[in-house]
Amino acid sequence: MDVISVIRTKRDRGELSPEQIDWVIDAYTRGEVADEQMSALAMAILLNGMNRTEIARWTAAMIASGERMNFDSLSRPTADKHSTGGVGDKITLPLAPLVAACGAAVPQLSGRGLGHTGGTLDKLESIPGWRALLSNEEMLNVLDTTGAVICAAGDGLAPADKKLYALRDVTGTVEAIPLIASSIMSKKIAEGTGSLVLDVKVGTGAFMKNIEDARELASTMVALGTDSGVKTVALLTDMSTPLGLTAGNALEVRESVEVLAGGGPADVVELTIALAREMLDAAGIKDADPAKALADGSAMDVWRRMIAAQGGDPDATLPVAREQHVITAPSSGVLTRLDAYDIGVAAWRLGAGRARKEDPVQAGAGVELHAKPGDTVTAGQPLLTLHTDTPEKFEYALKSLDASYDVAPAGTAFSATPIVRERIA
């Protein structure tokens, strides 16, 4: 077996055999296949796709590259959630403690930013002292004592995916449906959760730009989970406009705490509660009301314990970028469009994301929104505030925002897209 023949098979639109898939995943994990070779294979998969048999085998090979976890010792049923990535998507932060406050255990393995989309771990690392890397024993202890944990997948859990995940971010192959599905489901199945809710984003700011691709990805992942004995459901949710009013690491943590305190943007609250209800239902918890747990402070209590259990200070002041630049409305009227992708690219260029897998991110960098589509704006009022520690990045970020919004004359009718567009189970 050699990697060149594997690359050529997929380059020429062939079907990879089970033996080829098992070998290339194992060889890449061991370092026998180089990053540039796996990059070529990933690009061939992006361009030519995989059938269901290939995806299932690729996922199984990713799982087999490492260990499998088990939460049978917990007294609570487990429920996890995964988002395919969006702009301003901080939902995991209030969702995990909310579901835990309602009686489930939430073993939330999260990742870092991919391209223009933010990463949950990057956001939480803006909290002084907070640790993403936990041993399996530490993870289980936090989960047992607080009900929720948000952390990085350990080195022993699908190590093949850890390498490939970082590689996809910097090689233009993030959007490959087979690689997205296998990446997500290999970790979630190996993690050992009893149930899983998938938040599959669709729109300009998502990797899936149209509803058909989002539906294909969701259906693929639901089938992978169900076949592996994990109760799995997917929601297709809108990502044409950023979620909430912030895109950036510390900015989104601050907004998440507002949600846990009973406030925050309406769209973030709506999606958080919708996903919480799906997770609780999948876990078999029927009598809990996540809206009440958000309003009465019990979710905030779990958040504080969870952050402290991972070394963070829930009372610490979050980082603030040293420089700001304000973009104002060019005219008065109705804001009818605010493109999620353009906002995500601007936040990435300001330092909230990374161009190479080794790059650091700025905790305070990002974009703050002062209006959302449907809002009435006045000429000269702030629309966006850009945040960064490196002001030389403003010019580059502003280029991505040249055509990112539309203001229509006052009285123009506006119809918002529902946040939850479809449910697939």
Q: Where are the domains of the chain?
A: 3-49, 80-309, 323-408
pTM: 0.90
Which residues face 376 on adjacent strands? Answer: 334
Q: Which CATH number describes the domain made up of 3-49?
A: 1.20.970.10
Considering Cα of 380, then 384, then 388, then 390, what sign does the dihedral take?
negative
The residues, any chain, with a CB within 8 Å of residue 58's CB and separated by 6 or more, are 16, 21, 25, 50, 178, 182
168 is catalytic: yes
**Cα(183)–Cα(142) distance, integer angstroms:** 25
User: Quick check: do 3-49 and 80-309 share a fold?
Assistant: no
- Output b/e per residue, 161-177; b: 16+ Cβ within 10 A: bbbbbbbbbbbebbbbb
Can 187 be counted among the known catalytic residues?
Answer: yes
Q: What share of the chain is helix, strand, coil (3-state, %, to 5)?
A: 45, 15, 40
Catalytic site residue 183? Answer: yes
CB 196 within 8 A of CB 222: no
Nearest 5°: CA angle at 265, between 262 and 266? 90
- 323-408 maps to CATH 3.90.1170.30: yes
At 357 the pLDDT is 67
Residue 395, burial from CB neighbour count under 10 angstroms (0-12, 13-18, 19+): exposed
Q: What is the pLDDT of residues 358-405, one digit of tens each?
A: 788 999 999 999 999 999 999 999 999 999 999 999 999 999 999 999
User: What CA–CA distance (Å, rounded) separates 125 from 383?
Assistant: 28
337 in active site: no
Selected catalytic residue, list 81, 82, 277, 304: 82
**Pick the catalytic residue: 112, 116, 187, 305?**
187
Which DSSP state fits 393?
Answer: G
Annotated active-site residue 122? The verdict is no
Compute how many other C-beta atoms are within 10 angstroms of the C-beta atom of residue 226.
14
* Residue of 168, 231, 305, 387 with catalytic role: 168
How confident is the model at residue 157, as a pLDDT?
A: 85
Question: Please, which residues bridge with residue 324 across strands?
Answer: 387
- Catalytic: which of 22, 89, 122, 161? 161
Residues of the chain with pLDDT under 50: none
- The single residue of 39, 65, 110, 183 carrying the catalytic annotation is 183
Give the C-alpha separation, 367 to 343, whole Å: 7
CATH number of 80-309: 3.40.1030.10
214 contact partners, CB below 8 Å, separation of at least 6: 200, 201, 202, 206, 208, 236
Can you read off the two tokens belonging to residue 298? Answer: 């019990």
